[in-house]
């Protein structure tokens, strides 16, 4: 990661550097300079945002910087992250930008960028942009300044794109769905997708006010959807996050179905239809139950680093189509280039409608092993603790005891001085004891 760019763009607390209007202005100008120098300009730069109140401020500042560098800008308004990726491709745009902090509270915000192909920016381009960010924004000759327009039909274009993920003439008529949009960017698109396909939709989190995005609702709080599903007798609950790139589902009994199980459901169905297109990519945190279920079905599985951009890298490297994370990022490369919560939810809803099977029945094929995560906070010496002989010995002892019935993962946090200890095993008590055994070994290192 660079000074500003992390694994998912730039993110921080609004009003604190770098999430200030001045930085957004510099960022727009730097992006415009770099893309102009590299000869990557063709159409406008598309700018979308989620529903945070600070989005207005950052949209204006970013637009000014891009225009000052000579790039035209097309403003999309509130739009899910996967919609911006899709529209960047279809508009033949120079780049796409999403002003969003995803699942974070409203007082955070951030910037995500897409190439003309709808992919995340290459590391080299991010590094070049960062190298310019310490310089104040200038402005080119007035005759070469960029112009800005608003795209009025962006939402409708994305709704039709989502609907195209299932076969023509398919529908969801008779399916009762509770849909939670987290008061975020999907509020004006996801309901139309499911309603236009004939589903009976009960909406939650569809009244953004600039401050309530992700607040007690959405993919981070699937219990809200679960309660409504049980109370109303719905067939399915769909909980999206603030920028619409992740989804968590709930079955008719109120049981949560996370991204790992959604990924497994889609993989097994694609295999049955003969269109899986290779194997499946998960991450270091993917539940071992999914890996075991795919293995029984003869489906290849590999783990990437945590983060949807790394899932995408592995998919491209293997030439596969399907990957995702337990948090609900589901990437279907035959549909889109990034996690798309609305599309993933639609694919499962269509499978339920077409086969008459319940979500609980579909999810039963993907068991979840007990998983315990212990965060060991340290003052310093994170890497030294990871490499210490007593810690390695504790890990080896646990792994030997678990055999192929479980696994151990130690990884340093990318943002805090702590080590995350994750253990999975078939028995919950054994899992907890194993995680605590390793955590104690880390704490005991002098």
Q: How far is Cα 382 from Cα 418, in angstroms, rounded to an integer?
A: 7
Residues 339, 308 contacting (CB under 8 angstroms): yes
Q: How far is Cα 369 from Cα 374, in angstroms, rounded to an integer?
A: 16
CA-CA-CA-CA torsion sign (320, 323, 329, 332): positive
Residues 284, 305 contacting (CB under 8 angstroms): yes
Tell me which residue has tokens 């995560």.
373
Residues 23, 116 contacting (CB under 8 angstroms): no
If one counts every other C-beta atom within 10 angstroms of the C-beta of residue 223, the result is 13
Q: How far is Cα 175 from Cα 183, in angstroms, rounded to an integer?
A: 23
> Considering only CA atoms, which of 328, 287, 281, 276 is closest in space to residue 303?
281
Q: How far is Cα 261 from Cα 264, in angstroms, rounded to an integer?
A: 5
Active-site pick, 102, 152, 170, 400: 102
Q: How far is Cα 309 from Cα 8, in angstroms, rounded to an integer?
A: 8
Q: How far is Cα 288 from Cα 406, in angstroms, rounded to an integer?
A: 7
Q: How far is Cα 85 from Cα 317, in angstroms, rounded to an integer?
A: 20
Task: Tell me how far apart the terminal alpha carbons of the chain are, to the nearest angstrom.
Answer: 29
Cβ-Cβ contacts under 8 Å for 438 (sequence gap 6 or more): 374, 391, 394, 395, 398, 408, 410, 421, 423
152 a catalytic residue:
no
DSSP state of 211: S
Q: How far is Cα 23 from Cα 128, in angstroms, rounded to an integer?
A: 16
Residues catalogued as catalytic: 102
């Amino acid at each position: 990661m660079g000074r500003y760019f992390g694994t998912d763009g730039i993110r921080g607390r609004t009003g604190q550097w770098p999430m200030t209007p001045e930085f957004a202005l510099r960022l727009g100008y730097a992006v415009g300079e770099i893309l102009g120098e590299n000869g990557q300009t063709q159409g406008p730069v598309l700018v979308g945002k989620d529903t945070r109140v600070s989005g207005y401020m950052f949209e204006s500042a970013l637009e000014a910087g891009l225009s000052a560098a000579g790039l035209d800008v097309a403003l999309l308004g509130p739009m899910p992250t996967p919609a911006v990726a899709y529209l960047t491709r279809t508009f033949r745009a120079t780049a796409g930008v999403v002003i969003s902090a995803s699942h974070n509270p409203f007082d955070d915000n951030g910037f995500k960028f897409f190439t003309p192909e709808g992919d995340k920016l290459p590391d080299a381009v991010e590094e070049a942009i960062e190298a310019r960010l310490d310089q104040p924004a200038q402005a080119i000759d007035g005759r070469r300044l960029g112009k800005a327009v608003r795209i009025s039909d962006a939402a409708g274009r994305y709704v039709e794109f989502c609907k195209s993920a299932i076969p023509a003439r398919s529908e969801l008529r008779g399916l009762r769905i509770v849909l939670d949009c987290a008061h975020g960017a999907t509020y004006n698109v996801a309901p139309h997708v499911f309603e236009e396909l004939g589903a009976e939709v009960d909406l939650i989190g569809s009244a953004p006010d600039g401050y309530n995005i992700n607040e007690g609702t959405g993919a981070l709080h699937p219990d809200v959807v679960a309660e409504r599903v049980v109370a109303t007798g719905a067939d399915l609950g769909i909980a999206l996050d603030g920028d619409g790139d992740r989804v968590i589902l709930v079955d008719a009994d109120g049981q949560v179905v996370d991204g790992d199980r959604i990924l497994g459901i889609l993989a097994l169905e694609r295999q049955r239809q003969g269109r899986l297109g290779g194997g499946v990519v998960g991450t270091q945190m993917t539940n071992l139950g999914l890996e075991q279920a795919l293995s029984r079905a003869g489906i290849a599985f590999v783990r990437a680093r945590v983060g949807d951009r790394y899932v995408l890298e592995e998919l491209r490297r293997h030439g596969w189509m399907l990957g995702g994370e337990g948090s609900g990022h589901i990437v279907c490369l035959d549909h889109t280039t990034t996690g798309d919560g609305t599309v993933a939810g639609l694919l499962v809803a269509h499978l339920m409608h077409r086969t008459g099977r319940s979500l609980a029945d579909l999810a039963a094929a993907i068991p979840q092993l007990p998983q315990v995560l212990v965060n060991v906070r340290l003052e310093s010496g994170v890497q030294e603790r990871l490499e210490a002989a007593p810690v390695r010995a504790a890990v080896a002892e646990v792994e030997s005891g678990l055999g192929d019935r479980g696994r151990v993962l130690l990884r340093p946090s990318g943002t805090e001085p702590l080590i995350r200890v994750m253990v999975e095993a078939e028995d919950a008590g054994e899992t907890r004891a194993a995680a605590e055994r390793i955590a104690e070994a880390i704490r005991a290192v002098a």
